[in-house]
Amino acid sequence: MAKRTLGFIEIDQERCKGCGLCIDACPVNVIKFSEEFNSKGYHPAEYIGEGCIACQFCYYMCPDVCITVYKYKTPALSK
Amino acid sequence: MGEKIMVKGTEAIGEAAIRAGCKVYFGYPITPQSELTEYMSRRMPQEGRVFLQAESEVATVNMMYGASSVGVRVMTSTSSPGFSLMQEGISYMANARLPAVFVDVVRGGPGLGDIQPSQGDYFQVVKGGGHGDYRLPVYSPSSLQEAVELTIHAFDVADKYRTPVVIFADGMLGQMMEPVEFPDPVDPSTLPSKDDWALTGARGRKARYVTSFDIDPYKLEQMNLVLQETYKKIEAEEKKWEEFMTDDAEIIFVAHGTVGRIVKSTVKMAREKGIKAGLFRPISLYPFPYERLAELAEKVDIVMTVEMSAGQMLEDVKLAVMGRAETPFYGRLAGVIPTPAEILEAMMKEIRR
Amino acid sequence: MSEQVKDAILLASMPKALNGKEFTYCPGCHHGIVHRLVAELIDEFGLREKTLLVAPVGCSVFAYEFFDVDGTVAPHGRALAVATGMKRAKPEMFVLTYQGDGDLAAIGTAETIHAANRGERVTTVFINNAVYGMTGGQMAPTTLLGMKTTTSPYGRDPKREGYPIHMMEIMRALPGVAYAERVKVSRPQDVPKAKMAIKKAFYAQLLDVGFGIVEVLSTCPTNWGMDPVEASRWLEENMVKEFPLGVYVDKVTEVMKEKGVK
């Protein structure tokens, strides 16, 4: 099924404390915990790369202001 | 210079503060200084200044913290139990380096005590009633004219060194009426600028903060060292005292505030009896004029301290005298005012010994 | 600028009023969310140069380090007295206090009630997480009945420890209060609502109506012994019952309408 990707997010993974609130908030489940550790020892949040609907819920919930949200001028469709 | 007016102590101090450019007054009613609060509630709005009766002395001192942090001259007046409530805020202001003037009209204690004059808060006021390594400049006037001058001076000292300053008064001073000459009001444009540290809003500069806190002990130590340096300067430059008939004295009294005034009468009475008495009257209780008192102690056998307390300034006297002379003490407690005659009698007992 | 960014519009990023310093809060602590909302509003209203922030004693004792505005830290509980002093001395400034539940509703209760009662033109953001966070999770005035904390190890018992205190309900009794609302930020949908509440509390000061306060029910994952997502669920299941959300005082909305502001 084609996934709509209306935007994308950038996560400052060094700033992230791995709290998981963005992952819980994302309505399209496009954020996950990274396998890697950051230098604080957390598994930071990571955008899977597609499917973001630019709803900003992750930005709303991030208590460390790690996330920047962009909306594509023209939405992308991907498999 | 102004005209001489007959005025009550509390009001004289209030008016002096206004002339010094006090912009904001916060206070709470407490005997024996409520008239000062009432006076300010009338006069401050007349001068376009700010008056607010706070809900407690705890709130008062914190309001002062706020007003001082934005760079205005602020004061309060209170009495012993109220001053006790202010200690936390004063400690914060000391380390945050916030100028302010506190007038403490001391009354009998401890506890609720009574409403009569006392000097029993010397330890609290002079040695620091709040927590931490800080000192406060403290001035003890013995007349209303002196109270007026010291109140104005207190604002200048507060601003110069960025510290709270206390006027150590007592109920007698607060209630007495004397003729006083008020100086002309200070021209606000001549007051020192506080733009280099006050919270004036981060316009055209980096944001700044005022704090008494650092979680890093090495940084907090640096903050403390700044205070210690300041106190060294204060000790070098701000000592004040009066000497009365000390040149040829064989016995020297030490007394401050209104007791200093009473002891002057005792000195005169002693002289009439042929006893060469003199008075050393500290006016700045911190910084205490140790050096001069030490010099005087060289020349006499007795340095007799008189206080309305159980002997608090006595300890500073002993520190100054350092065994050069005997250091007897006479005092009355809990709001009882000694008379010149009873002090004389106590002195006679010491001489006879 | 990456290829992606060139084709996109920026929707949300770190507000300017935050200076970028990493927050010292625990993972998932709601302090960070609320700090961001306050910063967004400071940006939107253009208040950077007029704001004076009074931080409390509590986890947010360092709050002034994160915001690009002048600030101070008050003794525990005394932020509203400090704010009163600032605002009375310099009424043209925008004075903001940010306080926890122990600070505002235990040791600072008198200062809170009296500043509200006087209708002080200051704005208070009140974080209620039902414990004393910074000191390790002791019972707070807003701790729920039955809730175990490090000083109520048997669970809060009304006979021994009294009841949780409801500050917004108390604000209703004080005529000086212009705006009082209780919100939460445990779900994304709550966040814009919380921001609007804080915005109205800002307007209470900016439009000279009276005292403005927003109580934000918040999690303390560390001291509640839960992970951040669990803590948000716990808040929703337990705290909202005890502390009903909603507007308790609103004299601001009509003034906003009159002045034509949103």
Residue A37 per-residue DSSP state: -
Structure tokens at B82: 């109220």
Contact B202 C68 (CB under 8 A): yes
> Cis (ω within 30 of 0) for the bond into B110?
yes
H runs (alpha helix) in C46-189: 79-89, 101-102, 109-117, 158-161, 167-171
| DSSP symbols for B141-190 | -SSHHHHHHHHHHHHHHHHHHT-EEEEEEEHHHHH-EEEEEPPPPP-GGG
Q: What is the pLDDT of residue B254?
A: 98
Residue B28 predicted with pLDDT over 90: yes
Do B and A make contact via 3 or more CB pairs under 8 A? The reply is no
Between CA B303 and CA B309, with CA B306 as vertex, the angle to 5 degrees is: 135
Give the domain ranges of chain C.
15-259
| Topology of the domain covering C15-259 | Rossmann fold (3.40.50)
B216 touches chain C (CB under 8 A): no
Sole residue written with tokens 């729920």: C144
**Using an 8 Å Cβ cutoff, are B36 and B10 in contact?**
yes
Nearest to B199 among C52, C65, C110 (CB): C52
CA distance C20 to C23: 9
Distance from the first to the final alpha carbon of chain A = 6
Q: What is the pLDDT of residue A50?
A: 94
- State the pairing for strand pair B302-307/C123-128: unpaired
Q: Which residue of C has its CA nearest to B89?
A: C75
Q: Which of A65, A72, A78 to mutate: most C Cβ within 10 Å?
A: A65
Contact A70 C4 (CB under 8 A): yes
Residue B1 predicted with pLDDT over 70: no
CA distance A33 to C131: 29
C84 contact residues in B (CB cutoff 8 A): 52, 54, 59, 63, 66
C188 touches chain A (CB under 8 A): yes
C1 touches chain A (CB under 8 A): no
Give the residue-averaged pLDDT of B304-327. Answer: 98
**Using an 8 Å Cβ cutoff, are C174 and C141 in contact?**
no
A65 touches chain C (CB under 8 A): yes
Contact A68 C8 (CB under 8 A): no
Nearest to B208 among C19, C70, C86 (CB): C70
Contact C30 A54 (CB under 8 A): no
Q: What is the pLDDT of residue C3?
A: 64
B34-87 tens-digit pLDDT: 999 999 999 999 999 999 999 999 999 999 999 999 999 999 999 999 999 999
Short-list B2, B26, B267, CA closest to B145: B2
Nearest to C50 among B201, B204, B210 (CB): B201
Give the residue-averaged pLDDT of A45-68. Answer: 97
Residue C85 predicted with pLDDT over 60: yes
**What ipTM was reported for this prediction?**
0.94
CA distance C100 to C97: 10
Structure tokens at B148: 């007026």
Residue B3 predicted with pLDDT over 90: no
Q: Structural domains in chain A?
A: 3-68 (3.30.70.20)
Q: What is the pLDDT of residue A2?
A: 57
Give the residue-averaged pLDDT of C239-244. Answer: 98
**Using an 8 Å Cβ cutoff, are B123 and B308 in contact?**
no
Give the residue-averaged pLDDT of B326-333. Answer: 97
Whether this prediction's pTM lies above 0.90 is answered by: yes
Residue type, C214: V
Give the residue-averaged pLDDT of A31-48. Answer: 97
Lowest mean pLDDT among B141-150, C6-15, C239-248: C6-15
Q: What is the pLDDT of residue A76?
A: 72
- List all residues 6 or more positions away from B186 whose beta carbon is below 8 Å from its beta carbon: B19, B20, B21, B152
Q: Which residue of C has its CA nearest to B71?
A: C89
Q: Structural domains in chain B?
A: 4-237 (3.40.50.970), 241-352 (3.40.50.920)
3-state secondary structure of C74: coil
Q: Which residue of A has its CA nearest to C29?
A: A63
**Using an 8 Å Cβ cutoff, are C211 and C122 in contact?**
yes
Interface residue ranges in chain C relative to chain B, Cβ cutoff 8 Å: 19, 48-52, 54, 61-62, 64-65, 67-75, 78, 81-90, 93, 110-111, 114
Q: What's chain B's average pLDDT? A: 96
Contact C86 B70 (CB under 8 A): yes
Q: Is B232 exposed, middle or buried (0-12, 13-18, 19+ CB in 10 A)?
A: exposed
Distance from the first to the final alpha carbon of chain C = 34
Short-list B109, B51, B49, CA closest to B79: B109
Q: What's chain C's average pLDDT? A: 97
Residue C149 per-residue DSSP state: B
Give the residue-averaged pLDDT of A58-77. Answer: 92
Residue C258 CB coordination number (10 Å): 9
Contact C228 A20 (CB under 8 A): yes
Give the residue-averaged pLDDT of C129-141. Answer: 96
Residue B163 predicted with pLDDT over 50: yes
Q: What is the pLDDT of residue C2?
A: 62
- Reported confidence tier of residue A77, pLDDT bands at 50, 70, 90: low
Residue A79 predicted with pLDDT over 60: no
Give the residue-averaged pLDDT of A38-67. Answer: 97
- Reported confidence tier of residue B211, pLDDT bands at 50, 70, 90: very high
- Reported confidence tier of residue C7, pLDDT bands at 50, 70, 90: confident
Residue type, C168: M
Separation in Å, CA of A52 to nearest CA in chain C: 13
Alpha-carbon Rg for chain B, nearest whole angstrom, is: 20
Q: What is the pLDDT of residue C26?
A: 97
B263-277 tens-digit pLDDT: 999 999 999 999 999
CA distance C229 to C227: 6
Structure tokens at C200: 């109205």
3-state secondary structure of B69: helix
A53 touches chain C (CB under 8 A): no
For chain C, the maximum distance between any two Cα atoms, rounded to a whole number of angstroms, is 65
| DSSP symbols for C16-72 | TTB--PPP-SPTT-THHHHHHHHHHHHHHHT-TTTEEEEE-SSGGGGGGGTBSSEEE
Chain C stretch 214-253, residues whose beta carbon is closer than 8 A to a beta carbon of chain A: 221, 227-229, 232
